[in-house]
Structure 1
Amino acid sequence: MQSLKERIIAESKKIGIDKIGFTTAEPFDYLKESLIEQKAAGHTSGFEHPDIDERIYPEKTFDNPKSIIAIALAYPTKIHEEVPRDEKRGQFARASWGIDYHNILQDRLNRLIDFIKTEADSEQETADWRFVPQVDTGELVDVAVAQRAGLGFIGKNGLLITEEYGSFVYLGEIVTNIQFEPDEPVANGCGDCTRCITGCPTGALLGDGRMNAKKCLSYQTQTKGMMPKEYRKKIRNIIYGCDICQLVCPYNKGKDFHFHPEMEPQTEEVFPKLVPLLTISNKQFKTQFGHLAGSWRGKKPLQRNALIALANLGGREALPKIVNCLDDPRPVIRGTAVWAIGQLTKRAPDQFLDTLRDLQSTETDEEVLTELEETLTYLTTDKKRR
């Protein structure tokens, strides 16, 4: 007769879970010093769970935890539709393709929990069993749980790397008071390879699986304020996320799985036209992008990033729409539009100098005024750029 663990593994395959592993609910106390150091150094993004003890001690948030069940789902890395070259388009990183992965994993975890409950030997056992599913926004460090549960190892880019699917996997876990035999952790497999470290355009990776999250381009595309100038050209036309440290990883070579229809990318969603983004309504935004993980910060960061991407792509044909953004009520959009105009008119700035000076005379936001001053100086003093 199969054990409960074996029956759970068999069921996981039926409901669309690509990898599953089991570990104890013992503390992840080896992480504590590193997490404290990262926070003190200002290397955290602010998106993490704020209480470090709750991140490493499951008993802080779950009464008498015994085990953690970790799962992974592989996601596509290539779009099968042809991306039109009709006009300038942005890109969403692969982890934001298809329906928001939080919803997909939550569904799989809930279905797995429902199955486990049916396997109880008595009503009392069903009543005693408890489960808490977590996906990304929970207390625990997902990659640490997955590594200890045997799903893969944590690479130098800080991502979980699986043998079968590389790092192109979504992770989730279930904390429970059921005792399971734990699986063996996976040893690190990076060796001397440093491709992700040297490939990162901003030097965000620290070399030991940690990063300065604030230097990560994925983080920069998700902030709501003005993007620092040193990152603007480096995002190219990516308006959400970053895939560079994954694309250069040897473990990801040739990896492209299409197991889950709800993860399949649609061209107009993940390679959207940039100009329409500048004037998209809230209703249109929700319809086109609301189901993507990349929409969680709202439309303002994506509109800001669209302005930057248009400048990076040399989209001079979009200048009339970009100029209209100078009237936007949001300072971030006005300020980024100023920068984009400067980049796109650097060889022939005269047409828009008066427009920028008119805004300078009425603008009250300090950041926008700084952008205006720097852009006007850039356009009027550097003759070599014309």
Structure 2
Amino acid sequence: MGSAVPRPGRRGRDDALLPGSGRARARHPAVREGHLPAAPVTDGSGLAGVQRWLSHQAEEVALELVCAEHPGPVRGIPGRTVVRLSGCARELASHELVELLGLGARQVAVRLDGCAEIDDAAAHLAPIVALLRAGLVDRLTIEGVPPRSPLPDGGAGSTPEPVAPGDRGPRRRRAVLEAAAMPVSRRRLLGLGGPAGRELPPPSAEPHDRLVAAVRALVVPTAALAALASPTPHLVASGCTACGVCVQACPTDALSLRHGAGGENLSISTLLHRPAVCNGCALCVDLCPVDVLLVADRWPWSRLLSDDEHPVVTVTTALCARCSTSFPVASGEKLCPVCTYRRRNPFGSTLPPGAVLAPAAEPEPPSADR
């Protein structure tokens, strides 16, 4: 049997949840005449659909994000656009969350009072809130965190005061949009124009690059940012051979080797690191053939606000007189280590370092029968 079809002119009790209903148009700040949602744009990857929808809004929007399992998002502070996430807030990508503030969100409040993993979600979101607060941006807040689940301390002013938006608020029901199926105006759907959309971040860009770009566009350089550690490692090296393996291994081109004249047949080779581009994968450290590249600390966020290069190590190198390979020198060597070994061992036979020859077996004494 087919499902029951509602009679014309009748609305069910849940119609207030639908952005296209008359009651929702009166209450929802982003649904107006001429921008009636006609069909959803389905997107299951984080906040990408919310970003596209937000970029086409004529006015700035106050967003309230709630987890998929939130029991009552229809109650709360009026004037906010409520968006139900596809999953838990602890799965939100930091770069997508910060990008909302540059795409037309006047305020973004992540509401955790209905979250099933409130401790994990609060711990996941606290660092990005601390980062923005350190840069004098207070437009991202975490709400509904009970006293038993305090946010980790990320610096002065990084922990918003917990609030419960529905405790004493109005009883009117708010429209709830779905992050995986944000509405589209009929005019936009039919290609009839509408407000020009703000430029979206390239989806193919690295999450680290998108986060750095979004933070740069929002924050103000402060002393607090200079004291806040970023995910980018501070690399050091002692005994570097300037072989370039780390440069070739870096997936983001954050490392480079610069060579300069250092005298007769000598060069000065410097390994340079760009903290703003480095995503912290540590492939360079893992693949260093001489195990001298190490992570000493983390760069502060203030270093990621510019594209400056940091010298990791400087090595004096020379060209091998036999194979023309560049190699580090300390006291005027003419041959690289490989050619030096071959000259000392022309037949290519030698024991590896640390190897010890086993004593030769003594011959057995002749038997009495012979």
Q: With the length of structure 2 as denominator, give the TM-score of the two structures.
A: 0.24
Say which structure, 1 or 2, has more relative contact order (CA 8 Å, 6+ apart).
Answer: 1
Structure with greater proportional helix content:
1
Structure with greater proportional strand content:
2
